[in-house]
Amino acid sequence: MILSMTGYGKASEQFRDKVIGVEIKSLNGKSSDIRMRLPSNIKEKEIILRKQIIKSALRGKFDFTLKIGSETGSEEYSLNKDLFRKYAQEIQALQDELGASQGDLLQAVMRIPNVVGAVEGELDEEEWKVIEKVTADALQMLHNFRLQEGDVLKSDLTNRIYSISQKLEEISPMEESRITSLKERMHKNLSQFMGEESVDKNRFEQEVLFYLEKLDITEEKVRLAQHCEYFLNTLNSETIEKGKKLGFISQEIGREINTLGAKAQQSDIQQLVVSMKDELEKIKEQLANII
């Protein structure tokens, strides 16, 4: 199972004369980061809601909004008189001190946050249980959304790993011509530098074997094939959080591909290596969005 870090969930339920609604959005992130918008009378429950989100949604950057409104859509508002007086007195004093022109003081104060707000009663246990349920419903919708996105990511990653494996298999038929080409190039360069009659053929064969051993790519091919298989096994495992592990495996795949490119010494193989690198970069981009 693959879960994308990108998702959206929304749920609502009627409670008495109110409508309780929860909306949660998630984006990719290296750790859990939650931005919450709550009514003031729910603030005491913020830690509980955060734990509920982390337990269900695991990892990502979350934007959580809880709204409690009336069933009819018409809200009751109240004026915070103490806060209004405080702001009005401070603004008036500042105007007098600076000699600023007298504007519409009442309108200015009314626009300040929390001076006028919706009437929010005390939170009782029954209402809190409904809030928890609506939050759980929204988180389930988020999970379903992420699961659908994860299926798309899994299919894409699988195809790209298969593509790398296929290109790796295409290298094997080129091995014989690669070795022949390297030997011919070395002999030609040595003959041009020293002259054909000055070349010690036995010594030349020894040096060629030593040089070809340095450029042998058998181990890299075996390790790359193993890493690709390990990547697919991890991708198909039942573990939910696997994005970081897949990232580590992709780094190992990259090391083997880079070594293949450095040792190849043949344009056809290097073209395949470039194609494998391109697939790997796209894999890394996708892994950034997996939990």
Q: Which residues 6+ apart lie within 8 Å of 235 measured at CB?
A: 2, 154, 157, 158, 161, 242, 246
* In-domain check, residue 237: yes
SS3 of residue 64 by DSSP:
strand
pLDDT of residue 265: 74
Say which CATH number the domain at 58 has.
3.30.230
Are 101 and 160 contained in the same domain?
A: no
Indicate the burial class of 172 (C-beta count within 10 angstroms; 0-12, 13-18, 19 or more).
exposed
* In-domain check, residue 244: yes
> In total, how many domains does the chain have?
3
Give the CB-side neighbour count of residue 184, counting CA atoms within 13 A: 7
| pLDDT classification of 30: cutoffs 50, 70, 90 | confident
Q: How far apart are CA 145 and CA 133, in angstroms?
A: 18
Q: Which two tokens stand for residue 157?
A: 């990653």
Span 60-65, mean pLDDT? 95
pLDDT of residue 20: 92
Are 81 and 129 contained in the same domain?
A: no
Are 137 and 31 contained in the same domain?
A: yes
* In-domain check, residue 197: yes
Q: Which of 19-28, 171-180, 223-232, 238-247 has the lowest mean pLDDT?
A: 171-180
Answer yes or no: is pLDDT of 164 > 60: yes
Contact 118, 38 (CB under 8 A): no
Answer yes or no: is pLDDT of 253 > 70: yes
Indicate the average pLDDT of the chain: 83
Is the four-CA dihedral 56, 57, 59, 62 of positive or negative sign?
A: negative
Answer yes or no: is pLDDT of 77 > 70: no
Are 58 and 157 contained in the same domain?
A: no
| pLDDT classification of 210: cutoffs 50, 70, 90 | low
Does this model's pTM top 0.85? My answer is no
Are 273 and 174 contained in the same domain?
A: yes
Domain range enclosing 30: 7-74+125-145
Q: How far apart are CA 2 and CA 290, in angstroms?
A: 7
**Structure confidence by residue, pLDDT tens digits, 228-242:** 999 999 999 988 889
Are 101 and 196 contained in the same domain?
A: no
Distances (CA, A) of 38 to 47, 50, 242, 263: 12, 12, 32, 59
Are 131 and 182 contained in the same domain?
A: no
Span 268-287, mean pLDDT? 94
